[in-house]
Amino acid sequence: MAEKVTVSIPHKLGKEEAARRIKRGFAAAREKGGGMMNFADETWSGDQVTFNVTMLGQSAAGTIDIHDDHVVIDVTLPWLLAKMAEQAKVLIEKQGNRLLLEKK
């Protein structure tokens, strides 16, 4: 059974800067490629991005909603990856904090 992982990351960047950093993060992930996670696509609509990612040969879909002071990341993991939901949540939080909280 699929499992939804939700992570909320606070920031003090405003929507525009948060979106810029997230776009840069997607670009860097695509350039790096070939790792444990591969981003297949991303579609922006206002302050939301919908994306697909492949992990360990399994596809997962997600969204990122960008707000003035936080972002909400939702990823629906297929049943095979659902057993790793807690590890996925930690990874998402770590990468999100790296993108949004480090000084750039």
21 within 8 A of 100, measured Cβ to Cβ: yes
**Residue 14: CATH number of its domain:** 3.30.530.20
Q: Shortest CA distance to 5 belongs to which of 71, 87, 69? A: 87
CA distance 54 to 35: 10
Domain count, the chain: 1
Is it the case that residue 84 has pLDDT exceeding 70? yes
Which structural domain, as residue segments, surrounds residue 51? 3-101
Residue 56 has phi, psi (to 5 degrees) of 50, 40
pTM of this prediction? 0.84
Chain segment 46-74, per-residue pLDDT in tens: 999 999 988 778 889 999 999 999 999 99
Q: Shortest CA distance to 18 belongs to which of 87, 73, 74, 60? A: 73
Least confident of 26-30, 32-36, 42-46, 58-62: 32-36
